[in-house]
């Protein structure tokens, strides 16, 4: 009876079959795998849409802030230009007043000189 399998080998084979059965219970069917894959792909797609929406919202906020900043800068530039015009006008007024005062003084001196010269003759 050399063809007989010893009982210890049967026990080992039985344990291996039990382990294989246990592993087979944990195997995922292709349908289960496909549905899980669709669920995960859907989550990624949702996250991608959320990220795109968030980027659009941030871009819109940035554009609004840039617009506000441009408006503020333009208003500051307009105020600066108006102030420069007022300063220039004031400077020109002072120059005219000085020319008038100095010019008037020179004319007065010339008139006095002419009068004095006329008296001397």
Tens place of pLDDT for every residue, the chain, 121 residues?
Answer: 456 777 787 788 888 888 877 766 666 677 888 888 999 999 999 999 999 999 999 999 999 999 999 999 999 999 999 999 999 888 888 888 878 877 777 777 777 777 777 776 6
Structure tokens at 88: 């220039």
Q: Is residue 64 part of a domain?
A: yes
Q: Is residue 31 part of a domain?
A: yes
Q: Is residue 3 part of a domain?
A: no
- Angstrom distance (rounded) from CA 24 to CA 77: 78
Q: Which residue range forms the structural domain that includes residue 12? A: 8-120
Q: Is residue 1 part of a domain?
A: no
3-state SS class at 28:
coil
Greatest alpha-carbon pair distance for the chain in Å reads 172
pTM of the predicted model over 0.85:
no
The count of structural domains within the chain is: 1
Q: Is residue 26 part of a domain?
A: yes
């Amino acid at each position: 009876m050399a063809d007989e399998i010893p009982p210890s080998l049967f026990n080992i084979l039985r344990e291996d079959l039990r382990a294989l059965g246990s592993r087979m219970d944990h195997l995922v069917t292709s349908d289960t795998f496909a549905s899980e894959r669709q669920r995960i792909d859907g989550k990624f797609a949702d996250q991608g849409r959320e990220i795109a929406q968030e980027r659009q919202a941030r871009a819109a906020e940035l554009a609004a802030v840039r617009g506000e900043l441009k408006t503020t800068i333009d208003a500051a530039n307009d105020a600066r230009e108006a102030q420069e015009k007022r300063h220039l006008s004031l400077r020109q007024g002072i120059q005219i007043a000085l020319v008038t005062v100095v010019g008037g003084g020179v004319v007065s001196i010339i008139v006095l000189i002419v009068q004095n010269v006329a008296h001397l003759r």
